[in-house]
Structure 1
Amino acid sequence: MQWLIAQWPRGEDEPVKYWVSNLPADILARDPVRLAKLRWRIEHNYRELKTILDLGSEGGSFTGWHRHLTLVTAAHLFLTEQRSCPKIPARA
């Protein structure tokens, strides 16, 4: 089975985005939509890793690169957790 998902905002004459998928026929209709929209979050995370957390810098050795990647990943997890927990007040 093939899925064709179209994003068609109210007031628009035609859809603005399309996604094609080969997910199983017995999947709920909301799941392909959720997965299609998840791409934005992945691109945002990657951009944040590259710009804010400096993922692009390379170490001089595999060990240095591995340590850098580990620290960047831990920092990204920390930032994501901070955003997902609104009970923690922001610092002034």
Structure 2
Amino acid sequence: MPKIAKGKRPVYLDNPQIDKLLAIVMALTGEVSVLRKRLDIIEQLLEVKGILSPTEIEAYEPDAKVIKEREQWCAEYIVRVLRLIQEELQIRNQV
């Protein structure tokens, strides 16, 4: 379960909505950066060990089970990414 910070969220720009969007973009940027580094390490190791070539990786076709698992992960990820917006909507609806 994601941790929720206590207190008010700091505002850096003139518009708090843009701040929220910036927070989402920066969180995604961090995720992509970490994933890219780890993926590169895995691909390099696979190639060096002669296990899998870049061509084989590009040609991979997932089966229905893998596609379903990816779709589930993606849906959960989008919920996490849009958490700030969802929290604000819940607060507005409580008022």
Would the TM-score normalized by the shorter structure come out above 0.5?
Answer: no
Q: Which protein is richer in strand relative to its size?
A: 1
Q: Structure 1 or 2: larger helix share?
A: 2
Q: How does the TM-score come out when normalised to structure 1?
A: 0.33
